[in-house]
Amino acid sequence: MGTINFREGVRTKLAGELTAGDVSRALEKGYRWQPLGGNEYELTGGVIGRVAVTNYDPRTLSNAERAALNARAAANPENFVLVDIRPGFPGGDYPLFGGIKLRSLNVVLSFLAEGINETPEFDVSPDPRTGPIKRNPRRTLAVEVTDTIPDTILRAEFGGRHYFVPNTSWDRDAFVILYKLFQMTVTGVSAAGVPITIAK
């Protein structure tokens, strides 16, 4: 996973030839002048494009191909990550082109909460092209509800009922990922240096 980097240029006609100072100033800012013939030049600069998940090194593509790939990625909102899995590379037995929509922690929690009763998840058979898989659970993260206190650490009480995460390796791993996502969204107040003023 990484950004799609490429060079983008603007063509222009100059009144005279480029000077050493013009070339030097452009290089200092990360740009390059390229003569195209006569008084026509192209000024190119590096562009750090969108984030992509690929099974190949995008730097092996031509500059035009990287720019086109970035344009396809940029057609989606900024919270989408491009996925381009091509045949002939690791994992390419099941080619895939699309996007992953990044969600906020609040939306993820709402999805999990709705799965308890309102819209429970259901079994989906594996695609035969993916080959054998070890685990294919029905739920992203199981959350069980009971009237009695369950014998597990991952539990909470709300409204007189007890909610808990079953003690399976899948659910423990999913809970740890959710915990890490939560930690990434929280910043300590002491680190932020929030001023407190008490008025009399």
pLDDT score of 129 = 75
Which whole number is the average pLDDT over 93-118? 87
CA angle, 167 then 100 then 50, to 5°:
135
Q: Show me where the domains of the chain are located.
A: 2-101, 105-185
CA distance 3 to 93: 24
Instruction: Compute the average pLDDT of residues 11-35.
Output: 81
Q: Judging by DSSP bridges, how do beta strands 96-101 and 144-146 pair with one another?
A: unpaired
pTM of the model: 0.61
Q: What is the mean pLDDT of the chain?
A: 85
Encoded amino acid at 90, one letter? P
Whole-number pLDDT of residue 38 = 79
Q: Which of 18-32, 39-53, 148-162 has the lowest mean pLDDT?
A: 18-32
The confidence score (pLDDT) of residue 177 equals 87
Q: Is the pLDDT of residue 18 over 90?
A: no
For residue 53, the model assigns a pLDDT of 93
- Tell me the mean pLDDT in the region 147-172: 90
Which pLDDT belongs to residue 188? Answer: 56
Summarize the confidence of residues 19-32 as an average pLDDT: 82
Give the pLDDT of residue 66: 95
Average pLDDT over residues 26-41: 82
Q: Which DSSP string do the residues of 165-200 spell out, in sequence order? A: --S-HHHHHHHHHHHHHHHHH---HHHHT-------
Q: What is the pLDDT of residue 197?
A: 46
pLDDT of 28 strictly over 90: no
The larger pLDDT score, comparing residue 145 to residue 104, is at: 145
* pLDDT reading at 191 higher than 60: no
Stated as kind and residue range, the H or E segment containing 48 is strand 40-54
